[in-house]
Chains A and B, each alone.
Chain A
């Protein structure tokens, strides 16, 4: 049942995509009800699947395989894998997708490519669900590229804008770098095990079979596959594409660049977790921590509401990756789920704000003011109460305040990294973790205060602001309720008591004993010791961050600009995103440009020289052979023809046409022969 149901869930959005792309424009209302309806059915099916799976088949794993490609002895399987991880992800993806579909009905109203937009949302949902339910790396890779494609199409939805098409290209190309590493990793595994299936690969590793008989290669394969996640989940050093991806429509940012696609990297690392060695996991943990820190510092200085959220997303993804790296598997995955809800909510909330701003600016005929700049907002609280209150809940959740879902998962991650440091002594990880928790609270409340509290930046503008339509408000309220603790655990201070921790368990590591990370029991033991201090610390850091934000931006006790001046290069660095874009531009884009110049010189001088030289030689040879042709060969042919002609003229004289002459010849010849032979 699980297999059929999950395939149905997978294919429903594909059906929606096909219907919308071919008939969308001709349907009434351009078919938005069709897309939204189809994805809602998929969501309800997923919900049913999750409840059945976790409720009554929690321990079981359902795998169904079909033969896909059969070449000689090579048999590539198409497989469906349904375990609790899959079931949870199915619900997350379809739920956020459904809400984004509903939200978009109002947000994208009157868009020039309205039906196409919904078609691409369907394509994206299909690809994302494909990543979730597949049981092998090859198919995962295929769907991985498909989400990249739909992300590209949706970022570039308003491709008339140069910045949007550039952002789409950047997202695609930067992802290509990570995917290249992932592909090599997959191929290392395939070269060794001749299969793409997770289970077979894990079992082979468990049986002691290592890639190229070396544990180093196993670590390398793990890190290379993780490279795919670095690209897709916007981890350092490939995080640069995600802020630019905010050029897409805001609901798309909520769906793809906050809740689902960027989480695909986290999901993928969770999926291949059993084959990751301790070394690979350490690399993963540090990449996650660095990402979390860098993105959080940048987020503090940004003024574009979506950019702040984008960097916050990168930072939270860093948390998830770090959690998986330190072995807090369930916590990392849970943060994926809770983050999907509150970050999608934050993006949709910002979409609601931007929508209202756009409407006002449009009414005022003002095309210069940036509708996304928080300096142009302020005081929206009373005008958009529902947006404000839901936004507040999401902000509390991402800051990790108790009674929210974000507290549950973030607290577990911080405790996990703390526990990890007590086992291995990598104290930098929890330090960064707690520090970033404070930063997160700070920049999120900065965003909230600057947007909704305080003095309006423009009196006439604020008067025009009104609450967004109901179809945009409902998704916000749904997501706000999902950001509360009781959906995940009835004890607001212990995620481990909830169904989530019961359903998702860290899988056994399959790598050889000496390469394994700390086992579950050791880790849980350490976790048990540090849990309470970690919780208190995380609350303290969050509250400190919030207080800082209020002091700086609400009560104005300290001027933010003075601090910025004092911080000097730190502030300038963060404001300029630590110059990643500039460095990449100089090193990679510039490097490729100069390489291309060198290649061009090589092309124009050496290759062209060779080509031209050989052309001259060929011309010389051909003129000689042409002379031979014209004079010697043609001469022979003409001479033959001329001699035949002359012989003909001569012989035709004998042919008089008179019978008697011929007879004379006969008689004469006869006489000659007679004389000769008798």
Chain B
């Protein structure tokens, strides 16, 4: 067990990534605040990034994974900008950023 913890490998990274993904998912599903939900999305993106880099380090894929990680960071920045703009508009429209109040599409 100690041995396994002392020699970090691919599995360790994947476990961290999975925990991070779960935390992000949790935030998305449970938080009522739009901003919190967006943060959950950021967590999930970063868990994906950890996966890319871990696979890049421990397999034969050389630097491809790290390249895509960089792309993901850039796209995440763009996504955050767009999402915050939407959040701003939602606030203007509903005078609230509570997701429970935004249910116009209810059947």
Contact = CB atoms under 8 A, between A and B. Distances in A.
A630 interface: no
A655 B107 contact: yes
Contacts of A653: 107
B56 to A, nearest CB: 24
B99 A652 contact: no
Pairs of residues from A and B, 9 with the lowest C-beta to C-beta distance, nearest first:
A655-B107, A657-B106, A657-B103, A652-B107, A657-B105, A658-B103, A656-B106, A660-B29, A657-B104
A218 to B, nearest CB: 97
A92 B107 CA distance: 103
Contacts of B104: 657
A363 interface: no
B100 interface: yes
Interface residues of A, number: 13
B86 to A, nearest CB: 12
A409 B100 CA distance: 127
Contacts of B37: 660
A596 interface: no
Nearest to B32: A660
Nearest to B28: A663
A658 B37 CA distance: 13
A664 interface: yes
Contacts of A658: 99-100, 102-103, 106
A26 B61 CA distance: 114
A548 to B, nearest CB: 122
B25 interface: yes
23 contacts: A652-B107, A654-B107, A656-B103, A656-B107, A657-B102, A657-B103, A657-B104, A657-B105, A657-B106, A657-B107, A658-B99, A658-B100, A658-B102, A658-B103, A658-B106, A659-B99, A659-B102, A660-B29, A660-B37, A663-B28, A663-B29, A664-B29, A667-B29
Interface of A: 651-660, 663-664, 667
B103 A660 contact: no
Interface in B91-107: 99-100, 102-107
Contacts of B106: 655-658
Interface of B: 25, 28-29, 37, 99-100, 102-107
B65 to A, nearest CB: 23
B25 A667 contact: yes
A332 B25 CA distance: 128
A652 B107 CA distance: 5
Given A651-B107, A655-B106, A657-B102, 20 more contacts: A652-B107, A653-B107, A655-B105, A655-B107, A656-B103, A656-B106, A657-B103, A657-B104, A657-B105, A657-B106, A657-B107, A658-B99, A658-B100, A658-B102, A658-B103, A659-B99, A659-B102, A660-B37, A663-B28, A667-B29
Contacts of B105: 655, 657
A249 to B, nearest CB: 94
A660 B33 CA distance: 11
B28 to A, nearest CB: 6
B100 to A, nearest CB: 7
Contact of B99 (A654, A655, A660): A660
Nearest to B29: A660
Contacts of B102: 657-659
Nearest to A656: B106
A660 B36 CA distance: 12
B14 to A, nearest CB: 16
Nearest to B25: A667
Contacts of A657: 102-107
A667 B29 CA distance: 10
Contacts of A652: 107
B3 to A, nearest CB: 30
A372 to B, nearest CB: 102
Contacts of A659: 99, 102
Contacts of A664: 29
A390 B58 CA distance: 149
Nearest to B101: A658
A660 B28 contact: yes
A463 to B, nearest CB: 116
A656 B28 CA distance: 17
Contacts of B100: 658
A576 B21 CA distance: 130
Q: For A652, A653, A654, A659, which residue has the most chain B Cβ atoms within 10 angstroms? A: A659
A657 B103 CA distance: 4
Nearest to A667: B25
A663 B104 CA distance: 17
A656 to B, nearest CB: 6
A651 B106 CA distance: 11
Contacts of B107: 651-657
A659 B107 CA distance: 13
Most buried by A among B25, B99, B106: B106
A667 B107 CA distance: 21
A647 to B, nearest CB: 12
A657 B102 CA distance: 7
A664 B107 CA distance: 17
Nearest to A662: B105
A652 B105 CA distance: 10
Contacts of B99: 658-660
Contacts of A654: 107
Nearest to B31: A660
A653 B106 CA distance: 8
A439 to B, nearest CB: 114
A651 B99 CA distance: 22
A203 B88 CA distance: 111
A657 to B, nearest CB: 3
Contacts of A667: 25, 29
A426 to B, nearest CB: 113
Contacts of B28: 660, 663
